Amino acid sequence: MQEQIIQQGAEAILIKKGEELIKRRVKKGYRISELDEKLRKSRTRKEFKLLEKARNLIDVPSVKKVSDKEMEIDMEFIEGEKLSDNLDNLENWRGVCLQIGENIAKLHDAGIIHGDLTTSNMIWKEQGKKVYFIDFGLGFFSDRVEDKAVDLHLIKEALEAKHFKNFENYFKTILQGYKISKNYKEILRRLERVERRGRYKEQY
C-alpha cells in the first residue's frame, strides 16, 4: 500500500498508509541510546493510554495497533482540515469553539490533561461537524486544578500567536463551552492567577 510522509517532526514521523496514520517515534541521536529507548517507549505507551481513555469522552482517532517494539501507534487517519489552517475561514467558528471548550471540559473532568492544546492538534471534519483532538504526546493524567488552568492558558496563548485577529472571541467562546465542567468556577479563578503570574514574569 502506498505510504506518504505527512510530517517529520522533532519527536515522531507521521506516515499515512491508506486509511491509517502511523505515528512512529524515531531515535534521537543526541540522547544516550538506552535513555532514548526508554523515553520513546514510555511516551508511546502514555499516548496510547490517553487516546484510549479520551475515546470514551470525545472524538479522537481510534487506535488500530500499538507496538512497543516499533514504538509506533497505528491509528485512524482523520480526513479533514487542521484548525490551524482553517479556523479563520470557518463561518461557524463559534460552534467550533464551543465544541473545543466542551471537549476540554470532558477531558478535564475525567482527569486528562492534553498538554499541547493548539489548533495544530485539532482536525475539523465537516462531515458530521466534529472537532477531533489529536496528539496526546504531552498529555498526562491529573485532577489538579492547577494543571487544568495551565492547559487552558496554553490554548489561549496558542490562539493569540496563531489567530491574533479574532483570538479573544475564540477564547471567550471556548470558555463558554468549558462551562459544562464540574469545576468550572474554581478552574477559571485559577486561570486568572496563572495569568497574573505570567504577566509578573514578563515585567521583571
3-state secondary structure 95-130: HHHHHHHHHHHHHHHCCEECCCCCHHHEEEECCCCE
Closest separation in Å from C-beta 196 to ligand ADP: 30
The pairing of beta strand 63-67 with beta strand 20-25? unpaired
Question: Interface with ligand ADP includes 18 (CB under 6 A)?
Answer: no
Q: Are 190 and 198 in contact (CB under 8 A)?
A: no
Closest separation in Å from C-beta 66 to ligand ADP: 13
Query: Partners of 5 in the beta sheet?
Result: 15
Q: How far apart are CA 187 and CA 118, in angstroms?
A: 19
Work out what residue 82 binds among Mg ion, ligand ADP, none; the CB cut-off runs from 5 to 8 Å by kind.
Answer: ligand ADP
Q: Is 116 a catalytic residue?
A: yes
Which string of x and - marks every residue 125-144 that binds Mg ion (by CB under 5 A)?
A: ----------x---------
Query: Partners of 16 in the beta sheet?
Result: 4, 21
- In the set 59, 74, 116, 151, the catalytic residue is 116
Number of residues that bind ligand ADP (CB under 6 A): 20
Considering only residues 64 to 83 of the shown chain, the ones binding ligand ADP according to CB under 6 A are: 75-78, 82
Instruction: Identify how many contiguous H helices and E strands the chain contains and give both numbers.
Output: 6, 10
Question: Interface with ligand ADP includes 36 (CB under 6 A)?
Answer: no
Considering only residues 108 to 127 of the shown chain, the ones binding Mg ion according to CB under 5 A are: 121
Closest separation in Å from C-beta 185 to ligand ADP: 31
The pairing of beta strand 63-67 with beta strand 130-133? unpaired
Rounded to a whole number of angstroms, the distance between the first and last alpha carbons of the chain is: 56
At which residue does the C-alpha cell 465537516 appear? Answer: 126
Interface residue with ligand ADP, options 11, 37, 52, 195 (CB under 6 A)? 11
Which string of x and - marks every residue 114-133 that binds ligand ADP (by CB under 6 A)?
A: ------xx-x----------
The pairing of beta strand 63-67 with beta strand 81-82? unpaired
Which chain residues interact with Mg ion by CB under 5 A? 121, 135
Residues lying near ligand ADP in the complex (CB under 6 A) are found at: 6-7, 9, 11-12, 14, 21, 23, 61, 75-78, 82, 120-121, 123, 134-135, 137
Q: Hey, which residues are catalytic here?
A: 116
